[in-house]
Amino acid sequence: MELLTGTGGWHYYGVPGDRLRKYSEVYDFVEVNSTFYANPSMLLVAGWRRRAREGFEFTVKCNRTITHERSMLPGPETEAETKYMIGVCAALKAGVMVLQTPPSLSITRDRAESAAGVIRPFLDAGLTVVLEHRGMSDEESTGLLKDMGVVYCTDLTSGDPPYSTGVSYSRLFGPRRVGFVGFGEEEFLSIEKRLRAVNPRKAYLTFHGMAMYADAANFMGRASPGRRTGP
């Protein structure tokens, strides 16, 4: 297993100087969350890639226009945003696109095909698509996503993915208290146990919360159940 550990952004990494560069020298990858709220200029994105060390990975969170405003429905707005997001990934040499849907969106039989149509262009561009689906779904729609090769994102401190693929992607928030005090032995053991059960070829662990930098570093310092890449 190739195990990559990172966090949801570098902007709050409390070090002097170039935070992104120094972050990239410690962690394996970063999940770019700012793209969810607004499209960065391609000039800015190219600068991010130049500042990070060689071999460092970026993953990109899809803009909310697609997942929240358009509710995973096709159309000109969705198509334009999809092209821009693919361009961002190309500039960053990023291989993973993360789509997070709102709790109000159900992907069931009547919506599965339209959602699949939105996802396909990302797959056709050679990206691994990660779906963090917070709403309802059914067995048929889940099976369609699996057949497409979509990676189902779950928080490994609280549950297992409904199916496994060669890639695992977990956005780690933990129990409510963890957001303030950080991850402890219980959470780390849960992550390790579930990773062993899923046994992916490649796993991304994205820590979130106020203590995310310390949590990610502490996990990387453990006897992890797989191989960690990075410096």
**Segment 139-150, tens digit of pLDDT:** 889 999 999 999
d(CA 146, CA 154): 14
Query: Which residues fall within 8 angstroms of residue 178, CB to CB, at 6 or more apart?
Result: 157, 184, 187, 209, 211
Amino acid at 147: D
pLDDT at residue 179 in the model: 62
**167, 203 Cβ separation under 8 angstroms:** yes
> Which residues have CB under 8 Å from 37's CB, separation 6+?
63, 64
| Residue with more model confidence, 191 or 178 | 191
Q: What is the mean pLDDT of residues 157-185?
A: 88
Give the pLDDT score at 223.
Answer: 56
Q: Give the rounded percent of residues in the chain with a pLDDT score beyond 70.
A: 95
Mean pLDDT of the region 112-134: 95
Report how far apart the first and last C-alpha atoms of the chain are (Å, whole number): 17
Question: Considering only CA atoms, which of 4, 5, 14, 2 is closest in space to residue 210?
Answer: 14
Give which of 26, 34, 85 is closest to 56, Cα–Cα: 26
Output the pLDDT for position 59: 98
Indicate the number of domains in the chain. 1
Residue with tokens 């460092």: 56
pLDDT of 134 > 90? The answer is no
Report the Cα 48 to chain-centroid distance in Å: 18
CB-based contact 31:98 (threshold 8 Å): yes
Cα–Cα distance for residue pair 206/5, rounded to 1 Å: 6
Mean pLDDT of the chain, nearest integer: 92
pLDDT in the model for residue 231: 39
* 93 band by pLDDT with thresholds 50, 70 and 90: very high
The CATH number linked to 23 is 3.20.20.410
How confident is residue 229, by pLDDT bands cut at 50, 70 and 90? very low
Q: What is the mean pLDDT of residues 19-44?
A: 98
pLDDT at residue 227 is higher than 80: no
Q: Which SS3 state, helix, strand or coil, does residue 170 take?
A: strand
Q: Give the other-Cβ count within 10 Å of 188's Cβ.
A: 17
Residues with Cβ < 8 Å from 215, sequence gap 6 or more?
A: 172, 182, 183, 207, 209
Q: What is the mean pLDDT of residues 180-189?
A: 90
Distance CA 9, CA 34 (A): 8
Q: Is the pLDDT of residue 132 over 50?
A: yes
Residue type, 225: P
Gyration radius of the chain over CA positions = 17
| pLDDT value of position 226 | 47
Residue 51's domain comprises 2-228
Given a cut of 80, whether residue 228 has pLDDT beyond it is no
Q: Mapping DSSP to helix (H, G, I), strand (E, B) and coil, where does residue 186 land?
A: helix
